[in-house]
Structure 1
């Protein structure tokens, strides 16, 4: 199928070229979501406004072009992919309006769920849905899938907490249910549609058997098919319409805003893990707990606990549990601690009669609490981490009536054995009878596909027919369960769903094949290959959890997309295809624009650091080993060259003026094909080398000051109001606190190796690292003295794999909070301060500590939303400035009222200053400014 020329021509007038993608790299990259399906779109369009969506829908309607809407692409059932036109949300869908002290919130569909909760946190509120993917999934997908989660149940999902909806129908008509003018206009323009909705509602409510079936089905968690409960719960056609859109998975319209009635987010919580000797006993406790003040009850079968029992921090007794054991992870929350304690006593008393094999009693200790939830959260990635390369991880979610939960669990276990899924595990939201089961599946042969088909047929019959449950509790129908909707619902309800689909999308252009499909084998088609690519990334399940923290997402590729592309290139290479063009495209999109900071690993369920793959590829392509050797051996000479370069740039600025130099350097960069860096007003001035000073014979405690090479070379920018160097400022602060500052000998020849590692020269990088460690051991008297490193990326590189080496290494945040707080008196300033938490600070676990220190220094601290990595990445800000600019594209608006920004990386601060309109400095500048030495220091 090719797209009509008229559609392509007119779409080009609506969407600029830089937001339209039809090249092989981009379409393949967007051809995957978190499911096990792949469809390659003919065209990917990034939309930035509702007007653009309306215009595209009108064109699609005219030319009968199928379209699919996509927010984050974390969908598990194949509902966010297309082989036609994929409409992806851009940056400008992050609006919010908080109402009534947080009791309501209006959100655009591009808002990440966790961000909405962060906005509501000061009010003690949150949105009702709490899917496991809340840190990555967006509101558009949460509404379109009627997502729920561990604490949400059925009462707090989008359907039941919906206060208003703004939508665009398939014909391009807009409707805002909260705007009387919009409602009146819609009633004038679409009377027939509203009349038909009213009629279908009346007929459904009058059909006693069907109405009762619908009510019964939604007593359970259920996202199979369309939301027919709208027809029995409401009689006004506008209410029916907006509730039909919930859970419609983009098949009935586009959701451009939603208003939620929020729910309380109680601050006091505790969790317990109770292990029962059998599934039957465990499941008998669930209805009892359902009547207690619990916020979550998670079931884990013995297989799921076995999958995580060897992980660090797991209780030692987990490995000794009996084969029939089954556990409940119980959480309770309350507004006050005293009420929480009353609830905990009530809960434990209610299940006291049940025999218990092991248990961890209720704990409010965050360490214990988080460890218990880690057991639950690690089960899914544990299966993913041990799967064979080439197979995928499938997670299904079904609902059994709670009173039949034990039988349902045991019957599922029998199906695992029948179809030889020995690795499969079961866990889930027990209060709702909602079970997730995870298994690995290959799709590389007809036999494997047939095994999957037979298994799913048995599961569908077991859940939908024998138990009257839900085949999809919260992951959405997608194309995965579309063939089974009629089996679960019956012919009357199924015909009603088709009637609604044809009423709202008469030409079938909205996400065809999803939720409702006339193809009984659609769940067995377009299965996603996961070929071997590299051991570093072969465990990737393409969930997309990594994407929100990636600085290149939206500029080129995200970590998920880098892996998708590399898998495809390797598969084509093995098949003997010519991959030169793909490799050429991948060089820029996959390698050159990757910051390789590894934040993706923190979000990845299986811990994949895509940056490590990129570094490996850079290493394989590294062709200047002798040059790297020379630079490593003559590092002080290299630094002299860097100082001369900065001096020349500064001289050119004095001669030409900053505006003219900026213009000329941009032209030179373009003319040199990126070989020459761009000059910006934030470019540092050069610093002189550090004069080595020996230790003094005084009683002051010693600290070894490791100044990073960038700190030794790069002084303040010419226009910076702070003209003291980081070196001088740090030394002054340490001495103010009563320390004697010691520098390592021959400091200018030392380097942690990071510049070499980032370029792919691992051998030279490790040589410099070991050389520096030896110098630090000498300077610190064998590790006796603490070592202060003024740049967090260098600290991170040094502390990794230290082994038995006795070095007491600190980044600025950790040293200040552990060594200086009792030596300094803080007087907070009133001027607002912006805080940038660098990638290395996040890896070091000092993020919150940095924010806390900033709040000691200023009564007004701003943490810009959505900026996780600045994209400067060592020298990328000079060589690939578009990465830095893209990563910080929202920074200026977020910090426009701040007087200064702080961070812990000199190079990051260059990019931050360039794109914010304010000066960014190291944390020590702020701390020095607001502190005085205590008399006891």
Structure 2
């Protein structure tokens, strides 16, 4: 419960920001307050701001009541810089606008754009962002810049500091400055003339101090994010440009950046990479020193433990498992403007390395499908190593840099230091070309001696990096709370005082992210550690990095995949310790809706998790605990045993509702149905005009036994019961159109016996009813084995999610296909396609995506229509079988970006491969969505292979006579 100044702040801010985006409850404060680092603070108030005016108002009120404020974008930072026990302002999901400038030479954007999304926008221009952190697929540009995240290939020449042009800022007093706007700068000079004068005075003072200026140049000749960026005072003259560049790496301690403009860099068309293996880490580092002057744009080191952590990843050669201890890999990349230049670069690199003995021959590849896997593996090392830690330990990542000539010896010293402290799973890897290494170790903090071990280790790291090699304690991950006590030692008293002066100038009350970068508590790095209580083997590997959130459809709405694990860990901790039973009850109750009921369970979170954690599977496990009651089991069993009757009942009900729809119309029925849903406390499913009418049951036809071209067609229970909606352009049920299309292509269609009682089991699995899910899938499997003559003929299921489960649980001798895959592989050569001159859109369901069939869906659609739109940033629709009827708000949120694209592109219809998903897509996209099978049937004619077969058969009969 809020008290004091926080209560006053909340009372005033809710006049500007609706309470649906102001959070003070236990569960969201815990979940949203967590970032990727190994510290935890729980905010008093969280604001999910949607625009600049809201942030400005919040900052002004925080200043009024002297309350600290922390800003966050994606929360993938690692050093404790995006957490607070006060007010947290999240600027992510609503902050994604952009404008490409000067034909791609620059881009203006809001801080919530994910880095990889920016690169997709720039790709048509042959450009990309300079910074390329390993977290680029999840990290947002605001965090990338505010932490001066650099990455694998940008070094210090293309990082955020070197590529930022201007910024729009909100200062601690609420003043807005746009350094890219002349009028804004004039106004700022009028209101903050003394501020500008002090910037100029500091600039002149630093430049006049040759010893300090030289020290700054030396320290920034390598990667360095320790402390505030004070190099703008010697790199720039214009006070406004100094302000802009002071923002880079400031971690939200100086101002809020609501918009920024960055110049882009060339995205070379010709690339090649090689994973080169050396017998030991020193030789590997020496090789990097040798090739640095050559045409090398990236050289990433992975020591033996790092290699071991990813040895089972897709794309890693199997021989890595057989390497002895000590073997170290260098992942090298070279870029060029032509094929001949690329080949010359490869030859030069090999020549430079000719003096070194490698464990295996050097092999470069210029095939994107091959080298991209290497780089994806490299990006996933940190979470992968964290996933191998002993359950309950904390995964800690540190980040240092040395001058390149010191690299071999310094790396060996670092390796020996890790061994000295007994960190057997300690890993060293990273940006060797820049002398920048990350090292990971897993630490337990349960006992005082373990904390002392960590403190002693960190002090020896400090001595090694600073006293012996004068390197950087933080090269790119930011200072945060983690390295704040060591900033003065690295920089010296004079430079540290300069940083404090800058902080005082920008934030005189010390309200912007206090405790980060500038922190006088020498023990702050040993306080507020996270606890990672073991919960279940499905999620215990999670290190809360947040990589999953870009593919979690409820991130920013209820809870994300990461946040679901965070809450479950806290529940387990409270349950184990018996501490605060009231808080335990509150968290458990809140998790029911925010964590369990609104999880789509689609598993897409696993596709961006480096260790493949499927939080959806974990949620289904939790559901199984909740439904494991005699009454629920009895009802479930009855439905499973009488599925044909249930299907018939649903079919009849849908026909009745469709009849009412015809009589009453969409507006009146929608109002009545909505009223009943409200009165029921949202227990009655949502009705929309996209609700389908009931479908007539499939009717098998006699099989022409002379035709060898056969397919087993299983119409999913959805296709057997749900037909088109009232306003859909196609009127026949899907199973009829599918049968017609298959016959058009020359196939004999075999239906499994008793198909009205068959189901893949997905409806039960999604609710956690595993026993009955397996019962139904086993029944279906037996029928399909029989119908396909033990896998002799392919099996088609018309619904992608159903097929996905079938593939996971059924006999591998069955050749199972979903619609897109079957059309792509078996029908396109048997049909004549005539493209229609229409703008259509396609939706790749979660299962289509997981099976890697999105390219096939696009190919099939483009064979049918002149203009095909695959909306960016529209992932899983969130309908999740029948959950979209009961939790339509999840479906609406998941598809919030769909209609603007449909409207802009003037789309007239959409196509997918899951009937229930299509209901939600039609509702929120405002155009009819139907199966891709309808479109393929509409635009194709047969190639008469069936007729030709019959003619050949007749000739054989005549010859026999």
Mapped partners of 1:324, 1:774: distance in 2? 51
In structure 2, the residue matched to 1:898 is 907
Report the TM-score when normalising by structure 2. Answer: 0.95
> CA 1:309–1:917 in 2, change beyond 3 Å: closer, same or farther?
closer
> CA 1:890–1:637 in 2, change beyond 3 Å: closer, same or farther?
same
Give 3-state SS (helix, strand or coil) of 1:361's partner: coil
Once the 2 structures are TM-superposed, how far is the Cα of residue 648 of structure 1 from its aligned partner?
Answer: 2.4
Indicate which of 929, 932, 936 corresponds to 2:941. Answer: 932
In structure 1, the residue matched to 2:106 is 104
Q: Which one is further off, 55-64 or 274-283?
A: 274-283
> CA 1:484–1:816 in 2, change beyond 3 Å: closer, same or farther?
same
> CA 1:934–1:342 in 2, change beyond 3 Å: closer, same or farther?
farther
Mapped partners of 2:327, 2:900: distance in 1? 54
In structure 1, the residue matched to 2:10 is 8
Indicate which of 811, 816, 819 corresponds to 2:823. Answer: 816
In structure 1, the residue matched to 2:195 is 193
Mapped partners of 1:246, 1:207: distance in 2? 23
Q: Residues 314 and 373 of structure 2 are in contact (CA less than 8 Å); yes or no, is this contact kept in structure 1?
A: no
1:580 aligns with 2:606: no
> CA 1:321–1:574 in 2, change beyond 3 Å: closer, same or farther?
closer
In structure 2, the residue matched to 1:743 is 751
Mapped partners of 2:679, 2:738: distance in 1? 40
Q: Which one is further off, 367-376 or 464-473?
A: 367-376
The superposition leaves residues 290-328 of structure 1 with CA deviations (integer Å, 9 ceiling, x where unpaired) of: 112222111122232233446676434324434333221
Mapped partners of 1:57, 1:371: distance in 2? 44
Once the 2 structures are TM-superposed, how far is the Cα of residue 366 of structure 1 from its aligned partner?
Answer: 4.1
Mapped partners of 2:553, 2:281: distance in 1? 46
Q: Residues 40 and 529 of structure 2 are in contact (CA less than 8 Å); yes or no, is this contact kept in structure 1?
A: yes
The superposition leaves residues 671-727 of structure 1 with CA deviations (integer Å, 9 ceiling, x where unpaired) of: 222321111000000011111334223425111111111111111110112222221
In structure 1, the residue matched to 2:325 is 323
1:864 aligns with 2:866: no
Mapped partners of 2:317, 2:186: distance in 1? 61
- What are the residue-to-residue correspondences of 1:777-792 with 2, within 5 Å? 777-792=785-800
Q: Residues 692 and 745 of structure 1 are in contact (CA less than 8 Å); yes or no, is this contact kept in structure 2?
A: no
In structure 1, the residue matched to 2:124 is 122
1:590 aligns with 2:621: no
> CA 1:320–1:765 in 2, change beyond 3 Å: closer, same or farther?
closer
Q: Residues 465 and 487 of structure 1 are in contact (CA less than 8 Å); yes or no, is this contact kept in structure 2?
A: no
Mapped partners of 1:204, 1:862: distance in 2? 55
Mapped partners of 2:154, 2:103: distance in 1? 21
Give 3-state SS (helix, strand or coil) of 2:254's partner: coil
In structure 2, the residue matched to 1:289 is 291
In structure 2, the residue matched to 1:672 is 680
Mapped partners of 2:943, 2:13: distance in 1? 67
Once the 2 structures are TM-superposed, how far is the Cα of residue 377 of structure 1 from its aligned partner?
Answer: 4.0
Q: Residues 692 and 746 of structure 1 are in contact (CA less than 8 Å); yes or no, is this contact kept in structure 2?
A: no
- What are the residue-to-residue correspondences of 1:643-658 with 2, within 5 Å? 643-658=651-666
Q: Residues 162 and 258 of structure 1 are in contact (CA less than 8 Å); yes or no, is this contact kept in structure 2?
A: yes
In structure 2, the residue matched to 1:510 is 512
Indicate which of 354, 368, 376 corresponds to 1:352. Answer: 354
Mapped partners of 1:884, 1:853: distance in 2? 26
The superposition leaves residues 397-431 of structure 1 with CA deviations (integer Å, 9 ceiling, x where unpaired) of: 11011111111111111111221111001111111
Q: Which one is further off, 300-309 or 390-399?
A: 300-309
In structure 1, the residue matched to 2:53 is 51
- What are the residue-to-residue correspondences of 1:468-867 with 2, within 5 Å? 468-576=470-578, 577-578=581-582, 579-622=584-627, 623=629, 624-699=632-707, 701-802=709-810, 805-867=812-874
In structure 2, the residue matched to 1:67 is 69
The superposition leaves residues 817-866 of structure 1 with CA deviations (integer Å, 9 ceiling, x where unpaired) of: 11122122333333222221111111111122212322333332222232
Q: Which one is further off, 287-296 or 53-62?
A: 287-296
Mapped partners of 1:163, 1:931: distance in 2? 53
Once the 2 structures are TM-superposed, how far is the Cα of residue 90 of structure 1 from its aligned partner?
Answer: 5.0
Q: Residues 301 and 328 of structure 2 are in contact (CA less than 8 Å); yes or no, is this contact kept in structure 1?
A: yes
Mapped partners of 2:923, 2:378: distance in 1? 43
The superposition leaves residues 171-229 of structure 1 with CA deviations (integer Å, 9 ceiling, x where unpaired) of: 11111111111111111111111111011011111111111111111110111111111
In structure 1, the residue matched to 2:956 is none
Once the 2 structures are TM-superposed, how far is the Cα of residue 378 of structure 1 from its aligned partner?
Answer: 4.7
> CA 1:377–1:694 in 2, change beyond 3 Å: closer, same or farther?
farther
Mapped partners of 1:717, 1:678: distance in 2? 15
Q: Residues 289 and 433 of structure 2 are in contact (CA less than 8 Å); yes or no, is this contact kept in structure 1?
A: yes
Mapped partners of 1:488, 1:852: distance in 2? 56
Report the TM-score when normalising by structure 1. Answer: 0.98
Q: Residues 549 and 867 of structure 1 are in contact (CA less than 8 Å); yes or no, is this contact kept in structure 2?
A: no
Once the 2 structures are TM-superposed, how far is the Cα of residue 389 of structure 1 from its aligned partner?
Answer: 1.3
> CA 1:687–1:203 in 2, change beyond 3 Å: closer, same or farther?
same
Q: Residues 838 and 869 of structure 1 are in contact (CA less than 8 Å); yes or no, is this contact kept in structure 2?
A: yes
1:428 aligns with 2:435: no
In structure 2, the residue matched to 1:909 is 918
Indicate which of 113, 116, 119 corresponds to 2:115. Answer: 113
The superposition leaves residues 595-636 of structure 1 with CA deviations (integer Å, 9 ceiling, x where unpaired) of: 011111111122111111111111111131111111111110
Indicate which of 150, 153, 167 corresponds to 2:152. Answer: 150
Q: Residues 692 and 744 of structure 1 are in contact (CA less than 8 Å); yes or no, is this contact kept in structure 2?
A: no
Once the 2 structures are TM-superposed, how far is the Cα of residue 793 of structure 1 from its aligned partner?
Answer: 0.2
> CA 1:41–1:904 in 2, change beyond 3 Å: closer, same or farther?
same
In structure 2, the residue matched to 1:276 is 278
In structure 1, the residue matched to 2:460 is 458
> CA 1:261–1:312 in 2, change beyond 3 Å: closer, same or farther?
closer
> CA 1:157–1:342 in 2, change beyond 3 Å: closer, same or farther?
same
Mapped partners of 1:310, 1:33: distance in 2? 27
Give 3-state SS (helix, strand or coil) of 1:830's partner: strand
The unaligned stretches of length 5 or more in structure 2 are 947-961
The superposition leaves residues 778-812 of structure 1 with CA deviations (integer Å, 9 ceiling, x where unpaired) of: 11121111111111101100001435x41011111
1:888 aligns with 2:895: yes
Indicate which of 166, 169, 174 corresponds to 2:168. Answer: 166
Once the 2 structures are TM-superposed, how far is the Cα of residue 367 of structure 1 from its aligned partner?
Answer: 4.9
> CA 1:288–1:826 in 2, change beyond 3 Å: closer, same or farther?
farther
Give 3-state SS (helix, strand or coil) of 2:89's partner: strand
The unaligned stretches of length 5 or more in structure 1 are none
- What are the residue-to-residue correspondences of 1:162-241 with 2, within 5 Å? 162-241=164-243
> CA 1:47–1:368 in 2, change beyond 3 Å: closer, same or farther?
closer
In structure 1, the residue matched to 2:950 is none
Give 3-state SS (helix, strand or coil) of 2:330's partner: strand
Mapped partners of 1:157, 1:210: distance in 2? 23
Mapped partners of 1:71, 1:737: distance in 2? 52
Count the aligned residue pairs. 936
Q: Which one is further off, 520-529 or 664-673?
A: 664-673
Once the 2 structures are TM-superposed, how far is the Cα of residue 908 of structure 1 from its aligned partner?
Answer: 0.3
Give 3-state SS (helix, strand or coil) of 2:866's partner: coil
Q: Residues 483 and 518 of structure 1 are in contact (CA less than 8 Å); yes or no, is this contact kept in structure 2?
A: yes
